[in-house]
Each structure stands twice: as structure tokens, then as C-alpha cells.
Structure 1
Amino acid sequence: MLRRLAASTAAAVLLVTGGNAAAAHADALPSVPPTAPSIGDIAGYPRQATLPVWPDDPDDASIPIGVIPYDEIAPKLNALQASSDRVSARVAGTSSGGYDLYVVTVTAPESRAEAQQQERWKRLIEDDPVRARTDRRLLRDYKTPLFVNANIHGNEWEGTDAALRVIEEYATSTDPAVATLLKRNRLVFNITSNPDGRVAGTRANAAGYDLNRDLTIVSQPETNLIRELAVDVKPIITLDLHGYVSPTLLHPSTPPHNVNNEYDLFIKHALPNALGIEQGLKDLGYPETQSARIPFRDDEPGVWDDFPPIYVPSFSLLQSSIPYTIEAPLNPRGNLTAAEKLRRSGINTDVHEVAIKKSLEYIQTHRDQVIFDQAEVYRRGWAGEPLRDIPDGYVPGWGPEDDYRTEFPRSYVIPAGDRQHSAVAAARLVDLLLGSGGRVWEAERSFRAGGRTYPEGSYVIDLHQPKRGIVNSLLEPGADITDRVSDLYAGPAGWSQGLTWGATVDTLWSDLPRVELDRVYDGVVRGGLPDGRADHRLDIQDAADLRAVNDLLASGARVYRQADGSVVVPAESRRLVKAAVKEHRVTFTKAPKRWSGTLVDEIVVGYVGGVEARDTLADTGFTARQVTAATLAATLTDDVDVLLVASTLNPATLTAENKAALDAYLARGGGVVGLDSAGPAFSNAAGLLSVTANSGPGLASGVVNVVNSGGPITSGAIPHSFIAQPVWYTGLGAGVTVEQSYAADPLLAGWWSAGSPQGQDQAAGQAAIVRGTTAAGNGVVLIGTDPIWRLHAKGLQSQLGRALIWAG
């Protein structure tokens, strides 16, 4: 049954949630790293800079739609800065394709002292929320922030135009109400967060990524800026402007909801503001804007959820913002007249303008309450309080299907020393937590907690911190939601960088280590190598280890692969090993006195696949060359050592010339590594390994338990893996060795049904990674998990790299 609400009853009750003051913390201040400006260095507003002007581009895909082309944005902002002291524009970064990223702040002018006071208040709300929300001067004079993120999907243009329209209006208006608005607010605009796609008319950026799936991986420069703004601006409301869904779609979302959110503090504002935007759309008078689609109100669970924190709104919600996806209603693309394209883009721009202005109106109408509730999220974090049990009917339409909560542990420890699976991965994970707004400490000496002893230098994450939601969302295993929903808007349904990024992370449910802690602001790893003239062993457990190996091979060092997948570099190459340690921060140990291994040549990988395959190979340092069915004869040449099949390659459909090139490659013993369902399909068609591949449902995704059998691919590997439509292997022929299997209870977190031919019960105990050597000498590895998916599961990259080395 659809969850319908009557508009007349949907004004959510605005409750002031009381409670004890946040627990004191020794280093509550400052909330920002030392690299951030000190209060004394903060300048007043406006902060204006002349933006470089780009050459005219007549091929800009914006032009046929009737919206502003990219090359006209900088001149427009420069003119507005010249004419108004309310506008401050800057180049805040560079896109993947090399375009400037523009951030604009619109506010009433501030003296240096006033700007510094605003910064103190912004930090105080997070660091001492009880004091902040009872500070009468703060409540009177704090400029509440609004963040508008426009055009994250490049071919959804109109958010940029709405932002520029609002900026121009507020910059030039003589209306006293606008002057008052800008004295009480800061409006921060990411003008076009995907200029590559805006110019090219593509959803993705120039690197090929959907940026609105990247907010906890942050693999792209554009999402790095979005994350920085979401963390630093601390917006009361965040608007992510999209298209095209008819009628206009407005968050809040359906369940499943991310289990780490203080959802009571969100939904009581998110729903009434959405209803206010809906009324504003009706007031536009267009037939196409007389209703809106609010998923929380109108859709079944799972249709448009806010579960994974990979989207701008779901990430922002974990930053204590009230976020919205706004999907304008009219698609201006395709075979339309020029006049119709212009009409549609004009209505869409009006829609986004309404969303911006109505959200500002909501902030002003409920100013004290929204400040209080943003601070309340932080207060609960400091105090370590459990998530609230939200009663049915808390807002109209709230019911048991919306109840998604987690239990917060007291702390996490990321060990140093021998218990750490990968020191490089640990440092990378710490950087992710810090960049996402979390706080991390380092132990000054060894300590004992949870029945274990930890060495000095271990990282400690005290979950009594203001942004515990995002920290815990990244570190906890996650939730198995299979039995709760039959649909999801998109995967992953489980992510857990704590389990899939290759670092050892221990959960302490009731303990905070009793040891002196120092606040840290970046993850540090130094690497190491043994003393003396011993040969050097490197246990490959991270992409950094693979980069070091590939650098050594390129430098001419002799590298030997061991039976367990580690490598040994003789002492004669110590100078090169030392350089690799300095560059990649990896740790070599002393090789066994009596070792033997296979000499490894520099490996060239031909890959059939998209940007994930390309960039995973780049992350791991392999020399790579894209191969397609149409270019096999030209690209699968004698220097290619291993073929990575990450998308469909059917030998039966090749031209005679390309089929001959493939046959010649396999005849000379070329290696093959196959991923997902494409890999085993190619292997079977080419007559390589004899296996039966089974695929789970397309929706199945998350974190799985695995059992590693050891060997060159999985020796020492982490006991968890990541899936996005899992594959498992049965009917294994002679000579096929299982390196990894799904555990008896495969799914740890995510969604994967049971009780069907595609169910997780069918995969239980079955092979996830297999290898074998053909009669022609081809080393073949098939991997049914997902080591390249959106560059997400970084802890699996070492398994892929080991497979390439073994097969090549």
C-alpha cells in the first residue's frame, strides 16, 4: 500500500529535544585540523577573485538546451562580483577533465572581526553544542548556512542556471527583505559540480564516473570538493539539484534509511519543508508543477531510499544537514523542437529556484529550532546516547517500516604493529574518516583493551564524538536488510570500509582504552625494510604493495614470486627496495634463508572493461592497455602477458582477424583473469577452465564472509569480501583449485535473498575464487566477488593484483 499523507495534516511537529550536556572531552576544541585557517587568519566578506575566462565552445551541450554554457559562467560571476559586495566567487578545484570548479558565497558584507565571530560560532555548534544553542547572541546573529550543489549529473543542467539566477537576484536586489535575509544567512553554491558532463552532455564526468555514487569513496576531484563543502560549511539544508523525474521529486526518501542517522531530528523538518516546496511549485502555475512526488509520502519502501551514504543527500544527512534531492520534472533532451527544449529547461530552472527560496524561507521561519536540532545531533554524539525509538505517527506516515537503527560501540581500535593486516590500508582508512568529518586519536603508549594488547601508535576512534554517524557508517559491518525490503533504489546495500578497505579494525563495545591519546589529523605510515644484507620479502596485501612491485620490475630489479603469493627481492637490489619503501610506504621483512620462487617479468595487462578496470589497474601500478572485441588484432600483441576480462568478450562473435589474434594469444600460454559473470563466460567459451558459473540477483550487494584456502591469490587475505551481483562456481573440473569460498552464512551486511536458485544459501560453501592452468599453459583465475566495482573495495585490489601476477 502506498504511504499516502494528507497534505493538511503533514505539518510535522517541531520538538525541542532536551537532554544532558554532552560529555566533556579533553580536546573538544578545535574541530578543524591545523591545516584549516586559524581564526586570526580568516578574512571578511566579500572575498572576491577574478575567475579565469574559458574560450568560447560552440560544441557545449548546454547550448541546444537553452541554458548557460560553461564558458559564460566565469564572465557572469566576474561581473556580479564587480557590481555587488554580496558575491564572493573562487576557483575551488579542478574537475577530472580539467575544468575549473566554482564555489560562490552570497551573504551580506562582513568585517574581518564579524567573519571570525561567525567561524567561532560555526565551530562551537559542533564542539560545544549545549553552549552554542543557548548562546543568545549566536541565536540572534549566526548566519545559518544553506548549501546548493548543482549539476552533479552533467546532462541535468538547470540547477546551475537556478543557482546563477538566485545569486544575481540577491546580488542586485534593493528589497530590504533580501538585505535582511543575507544578514542572517550564508548561501554557498557549487555552481556546476560536473563541468565535464555539462559540456559533453553526459551524466558522468570525464573519467567516466557517476559522481553521485562516490561520496564515501571520494575517488574523483569533484566529489572531494563536495565532501569538503558538506563538512566545512555545516549547512542547515543541503539541496542537490537534478533532473528529470515527473512530477518533481523531492526528498525525504523511502526506507530503508541509513541506520546511523538521527532520523527524528531530520524528518520533522524534511517533510514540512518538502510540502512547502510542493506548494511553491503549484504556485508557479504550470500544469507540470501542480503536484510533486515525495517518496516518503508516495512510494513503497525501497523505491527511492537513502540507505547507502554514497549520494550527496545521504552523506549530508550524516553531517547533520537536512538534505534533498530535487529532480526537476521535464526532460529537455532528445528529439524536441528548440522552442520546446527552451520551455522545458525554463520550467526546470523555475522549479530549482523555488526549492532554494522555499528552503531559505523554512530556515528563517524555524531558525532557533533548526540550529537547536543541528546542535542536538552533535550533542547526542558527544554524550554517546542511543538512537531514538521514534513512535509511529511521529510525522504523518511514519511507521514500523521506517525504523532503522544501529547500536553504537564505545570505540574502535585500528591496531599498529603485527596485528594490523596492512599499515598502508590503516592510514588510508584514517584519512577517509578525517576527511569525512570524523575524529581520530593515536595512543601514546601500549595499552590493553577488549582482552587484547595494542602497541603504541595504534589509532583509537572514540565514538563519543559529534559526527559519530558518518564514522560508524564507514566502520561498522552494516546491516542485513534482506528480509526487510524487496527493492532498493541502488546498491550497495552494504559497504563497510572498516571490513573491505584492507585494514584491521577492532570493535570495543563497552571500552574506551585507558591510555593517553593524541588527536591526529592524517593517517601516517612510514614503511620499512630489514637491516643488514638479507633478501627482502613483501607480502602483497594492498594496492601500495603492488605499486611497489611494479616499480621494482620497471626499475630492473629481480623479483621472485613465492608459492604463497608474496615476493622476494634479492639484497643486491636494496637501493631500489629502499626507494620503493620511500615512495609507497610499504614494509619489507627479511626473506627466509632458504627460499625459492619464480622470476617475474614486468607485466603488461590487456583489459576488456570500463573505467573501473582501467583505474584499478592504474591504482595497482600495472602497465595496462584496453582491448576490445574490435581491436584484438591490434592490441593483444606479443607484449601482453595477461588478459583481464571484466566485461563481455565472446570469442564466437569475433571477426576472423580478431579471433586469430585471440587464438594466437592463448596458444602461446597468455594468462587470463576473469571477473563477475563475464570472466567465466569467456573462460567457458574459450575452453579454458571447466566450471559452472552461478550469478546472484542483480540487486544482491554488500559485505560477505569468505573462507580463504591460501595460495598465491588469497594467502593472508582478509576474511570478508564485497559483492555487487555475486558469482560462485560449481561443477569444478580437473585441475581447478579453489582459493576462496563463500562462508556457510555468506551475507554479513547488505541484501541477498535466500531460498531461490540465485539465493545466498545456494552460494554457501561454494567457490568464490578459482584458478587453474590449461594444457596450453594458460594461467587462469576467475573471481566471483567485486574487486573493481566503482573503486570501492580497496582491500580486494591486492587479490586481483596477485591473480594478475600469477596468471601473467
Structure 2
Amino acid sequence: MKTTSIGKSVEGRDIYLTVLAKDKAAVDKYQKVTHPAMLNDPKKLQADIKSGAFGDYQVPIWLNNIHPNEAPGVDAIMNYFKSMALDKSMTYDTVLPNGKKSKTTLNIDDALEHVFFLFVYTDNPDGRVHTTRSNAEDFDLNRDNSYQTQPETRSVTEQIAKWSPLSFLDMHGFDANFLIEPSTPPHNPNVEYDLLIDHMVEQAKAMGEAGIANTKYNYYHILYEEHRKTAKDPNYVSKGTASGWDDASAAYTAAFAMYHGAMGHTMETPESNEESTKALYYSSAAATKYVAGKKEELFLNQLKIFERGVDNIDDRAVDHYLVNAKNEEIGRPRQGNQNFFPEYYVLPVDKNIQKNVLETYKMVEYFLRNGVKIERSTKAVTVNGKTYPAGSFIVNMHQANRGLANLVLYDGIDVSLIMK
């Protein structure tokens, strides 16, 4: 176990992150070997894992809270940290496909052979002190992960890039019907949605079943599934949320984590009480058991996301999930191009063609903080009659985090038109 401060809040309080693993060597291998290989040569890493040449490895699960006045989230993370640190096992109820309850046990030593944990008890320590949703600047941090205007979001998003967690659980309240992402459409075209969605739904179901089996609650709903049922059957009436809860924006922490290959889940519990704390606690146990039991399959899938980035592949399988308000497939907005993603972006800093040099340097700093690789030209280059002077910054889109880079730099989509 190691707890560090990853940054300071507006009022100068520490934002704490605790790493919990079976030993220091497991974390060192991930940081020094596994993660660099994920970003630089994900295809080779897949081959080495399949052949057994890569040997033993663990993958990270991140537990997070961003609205500290939604207190069950903070409490559940602390309680789960204590269990993973001190207990030998956890036995809890879950629900079988036939609807009957069943006991299941999470052996913690066994789990730590496959996963390690990243606990951020709250992104917003000032809000924790003042019992507020917002930070000390009266800003909702869960709307700031894209722009990163606040010191808290800059600190946390930098760590998401540093770790690329496989599973990201963001703990919130309050929704009367116990809500778990993945989300309803519209989805963002920069996410490799086809590679994430099936496992996200499976993990959400495991979390929801554990959450209701060990509490007074008798219902949970997965937004994506409720929308899918409604689209399939116009007469279906959802008891939860079937529309209007999308991940088209990366402003939300769990949605932002998806750009780093994470199964990103926002979870909303019904109440501010011990039952909701328990729902998040046992959901975390189910998420852990799911990842530990499918570690290789899930990790290889995450590596495919990074492989598409390195090869700059625009896989048409994503198009199926990008729909309009009539649930008609619209796909990625390629605007006549074969590839939705360009080969590169150029960010010039020569004052003759760049009207705001300072903002260009700020953008470069943003990218480096978020794990996007930046190159710089050593001589002037002319493309299609336009000359880019030496010293221009180049965002080569053949890289693992190209989805995030494109999210920031492309023209974007008009969601109001999609939702008509």
C-alpha cells in the first residue's frame, strides 16, 4: 500500500491516491514494463501475453468519487479499501440468471494475483470539507474532465493517463432507481465503442446484481440496456432512465476514462445512507471479481483499442453504435474521407500564421499531461500549397491515445442535429 498526494485543491488540500497491490514488484512492472508496452507496441504485448512470454502481470481497477456531498461514494471507497487491505475474503450474495440469490466469495489474495487497486477517495477535498458538490470555485468537476480548467481535474486526469485503468468506477448519488452506466446515445465517435460495450454491460450487470442482493433495493438499471430495450420495443416502459444520459461528452470522469481504454462506469445510488454505501461496496466487489476472472480477455481487448490507435485504424464496427434520435445508424462523421481520423494535426507557433501562440503551447502542455505524444518539425514543410514553418508541433495520429487527441482537435459534432 502506498498513499500519495497527486495534487492540491483550490484551497490547498491534498488529493490522495492509494495504490494497493499484492507487492511493490507488481506495481513496478505495470508502470515500467506493462504500461509503456501498452502505449508503444500493443500488438507485440498481445502476442507475448497469449504465448505466455510476458509472464505474470496485474491490471488496475480505479475507484473514484468526484462529488463528495454524495457521501456514500466516499464511504464505500474507504470501506472497500479497508476490506482489500485487511480481510482475507469477502462473502456476499449475488443473483443467478434464474433470479435466485446465491453466495459468492471473493478471495482477496487470489484477486490480487490479477488486479491492483487505485483509490481516489474524492477528487474534491474542498467539497468534502464544505459538504458541497462543487469545488471551492463553485465549479462542478464532473463537467470539467475535457477542458480541465480546475486544478483538481488536471491532477486526476493526469493520473488516469499515467495508469490507463482497465476498470473505472465513479461513485455518485442520487438516482431513485440505482443507475449504472454504460450510457444512452448519442455516443462519441472517438471512442472504440464496439470493443468496450459488451464487457461494460456484463460488468454493470454483475455490479447491479450484487448491489441489490445485499441491500434493501430490488431494482437497478443499466442505461444502455434500457435504451436498447426501448428502441427494440416501442411499448416497453422503463422503470429507470432510457434516454438523455449520454456519453457524447468526455466531461464526465467515467466517460473520460474510456478514452484511455477503461470500462468507465458512473454509478448513482438511491439515497444518502448506509444501504447506498453497501450497494456501492458490493458492486465494487462484483466488479473486482469480474475483472479478476476475465483478466486476460479484458486486457487483450483494451490492447486492441490501443492497437487501433497506433495503426490509426478507423474500424467500421464502431458505426453500428452511433445512432440518431430515431435509432438510425449514422456512423462516424467522415465528411467524405476514408478515415475518420486524420494522419496528423499541425499546431504552428510561428506568429505569421498562428494568431495565439500562447494557447498553442497550452494545448501542447495539455496533451503531454494527458498522455498524447507530440513531435516537432525540424524544417519547413509544404502541404497542399500551405507551408508550416520549422518548429511546428505535430500530433501524429498513429498513437495509442489518438481518440483523445482527435476529441480535442477535430471539428466536433452538432448533437442537436443528431437528436432530432
Gap change, CA 1:206 and 1:169, over 3 Å in 2: same
Shift of 1:246: 1.3
Q: For residue 89 of structure 1, give the secondary structure of its aligned residue in structure 2.
A: strand
Gap change, CA 1:476 and 1:350, over 3 Å in 2: same
Shift of 1:247: 0.9
Correspondence list, 1:18-97, <5 A: 87-97=1-11
Shift of 1:470: 0.5
Correspondence list, 1:412-423, <5 A: 412-417=345-350, 418-423=352-357
Gap change, CA 1:391 and 1:101, over 3 Å in 2: closer
**Corresponding residue number in structure 2 for 1:224:** 154
Distance in 2 (CA, whole Å) between partners of 1:325 and 1:453 is 45
Which residue of 426, 440, 443 corresponds with 2:377?
Answer: 443
The answer as to whether partners of 1:410 and 1:463 remain within 8 angstroms in 2 is yes
Matched to 2:249, the amino acid is: P
Q: Does 1:133 align with 2:46?
A: yes
Which residue of 456, 463, 468 corresponds with 2:402?
Answer: 468
If each structure's helix is expressed as a fraction of its own residues, which one has the higher value? 2
Q: For residue 113 of structure 2, give the secondary structure of its aligned residue in structure 1.
A: helix
Which residue of 126, 139, 144 corresponds with 1:196?
Answer: 126
What's the TM-score once normalised by structure 2's chain length? 0.85
The answer as to whether partners of 2:115 and 2:291 remain within 8 angstroms in 1 is no
Distance in 1 (CA, whole Å) between partners of 2:182 and 2:54 is 27
Distance in 2 (CA, whole Å) between partners of 1:410 and 1:135 is 28
How many positions carry a matched residue from both structures? 379
Distance in 1 (CA, whole Å) between partners of 2:121 and 2:357 is 38
Q: For residue 417 of structure 2, give the secondary structure of its aligned residue in structure 1.
A: coil
Shift of 1:348: 1.2
Matched to 1:255, the amino acid is: P
The answer as to whether partners of 2:114 and 2:295 remain within 8 angstroms in 1 is no
Taking only the aligned residue pairs, the percentage that are identical comes to 27
Gap change, CA 1:105 and 1:315, over 3 Å in 2: same
Gap change, CA 1:147 and 1:93, over 3 Å in 2: same
Distance in 2 (CA, whole Å) between partners of 1:250 and 1:161 is 18
Shift of 1:401: 5.2
More relative contact order, 1 or 2 (CA 8 Å, 6+ apart): 2
Shift of 1:269: 0.8
Distance in 2 (CA, whole Å) between partners of 1:187 and 1:405 is 37
Larger Rg: 1
Shift of 1:354: 2.0
Shift of 1:237: 0.6
Q: Does 1:249 align with 2:182?
A: no
The answer as to whether partners of 2:168 and 2:254 remain within 8 angstroms in 1 is yes
**Corresponding residue number in structure 1 for 2:63:** 148
**Corresponding residue number in structure 1 for 2:24:** 110
Distance in 1 (CA, whole Å) between partners of 2:328 and 2:295 is 30
Gap change, CA 1:267 and 1:412, over 3 Å in 2: same
Shift of 1:201: 1.7
Distance in 2 (CA, whole Å) between partners of 1:313 and 1:402 is 24
Shift of 1:385: 0.9
The answer as to whether partners of 1:381 and 1:464 remain within 8 angstroms in 2 is yes
Correspondence list, 1:599-610, <5 A: none
Shift of 1:355: 2.3
User: Structure 1, residues 40-66: CA drift from partner, whole Å, max 9, x if none?
Assistant: xxxxxxxxxxxxxxxxxxxxxxxxxxx
The answer as to whether partners of 1:143 and 1:183 remain within 8 angstroms in 2 is yes
Matched to 2:192, the amino acid is: E
**Corresponding residue number in structure 2 for 1:290:** 218
Shift of 1:392: 5.9
The answer as to whether partners of 1:212 and 1:312 remain within 8 angstroms in 2 is yes
Gap change, CA 1:440 and 1:400, over 3 Å in 2: same
User: Structure 1, residues 546-593: CA drift from partner, whole Å, max 9, x if none?
Assistant: xxxxxxxxxxxxxxxxxxxxxxxxxxxxxxxxxxxxxxxxxxxxxxxx
Instruction: Provide structure 2 residue ranges, at least 5 long, that are not aligned to the other structure.
Output: 90-105, 231-241, 335-339
Distance in 1 (CA, whole Å) between partners of 2:357 and 2:347 is 9
Gap change, CA 1:204 and 1:401, over 3 Å in 2: farther
What's the TM-score once normalised by structure 1's chain length? 0.45
Distance in 2 (CA, whole Å) between partners of 1:184 and 1:376 is 19
Q: For residue 323 of structure 1, give the secondary structure of its aligned residue in structure 2.
A: strand
Shift of 1:402: 8.1
Q: For residue 376 of structure 1, give the secondary structure of its aligned residue in structure 2.
A: helix
Shift of 1:196: 1.3
The answer as to whether partners of 1:415 and 1:454 remain within 8 angstroms in 2 is yes
User: Structure 1, residues 110-168: CA drift from partner, whole Å, max 9, x if none?
Assistant: 34xx5443321121112110111122347652111011112x11311111111111111
Gap change, CA 1:296 and 1:471, over 3 Å in 2: same
Shift of 1:184: 2.1
Q: Does 1:211 align with 2:141?
A: yes
Shift of 1:97: 2.0
The answer as to whether partners of 2:319 and 2:331 remain within 8 angstroms in 1 is no
Shift of 1:248: 0.7
Distance in 1 (CA, whole Å) between partners of 2:82 and 2:379 is 56
Q: For residue 242 of structure 1, give the secondary structure of its aligned residue in structure 2.
A: strand
User: Structure 1, residues 589-614: CA drift from partner, whole Å, max 9, x if none?
Assistant: xxxxxxxxxxxxxxxxxxxxxxxxxx
**Corresponding residue number in structure 2 for 1:370:** 298
The answer as to whether partners of 1:143 and 1:186 remain within 8 angstroms in 2 is yes
Which residue of 36, 40, 43 corresponds with 1:123?
Answer: 36
Q: CA RMSD in A?
A: 2.2
The answer as to whether partners of 1:239 and 1:325 remain within 8 angstroms in 2 is yes
**Corresponding residue number in structure 2 for 1:554:** none
Correspondence list, 1:144-543, <5 A: 144-150=59-65, 152-175=66-89, 177-286=107-216, 289-299=217-227, 302-330=243-271, 332=272, 345-390=273-318, 400=328, 403-404=331-332, 407-417=340-350, 418-486=352-420
Instruction: Provide structure 1 residue ranges, at least 5 long, that are not aligned to the other structure.
Output: 1-86, 333-344, 487-808
Gap change, CA 1:254 and 1:309, over 3 Å in 2: same
**Corresponding residue number in structure 2 for 1:604:** none
**Corresponding residue number in structure 2 for 1:668:** none
Distance in 2 (CA, whole Å) between partners of 1:366 and 1:183 is 12
Distance in 2 (CA, whole Å) between partners of 1:371 and 1:225 is 25
The answer as to whether partners of 2:166 and 2:261 remain within 8 angstroms in 1 is yes
Gap change, CA 1:280 and 1:402, over 3 Å in 2: farther
**Corresponding residue number in structure 1 for 2:94:** none
Shift of 1:239: 0.8
The answer as to whether partners of 1:97 and 1:207 remain within 8 angstroms in 2 is no
The answer as to whether partners of 1:416 and 1:454 remain within 8 angstroms in 2 is no
Distance in 1 (CA, whole Å) between partners of 2:83 and 2:68 is 24
Shift of 1:241: 0.6
**Corresponding residue number in structure 1 for 2:235:** none
Gap change, CA 1:405 and 1:272, over 3 Å in 2: farther
User: Structure 1, residues 716-735: CA drift from partner, whole Å, max 9, x if none?
Assistant: xxxxxxxxxxxxxxxxxxxx
Gap change, CA 1:211 and 1:180, over 3 Å in 2: same
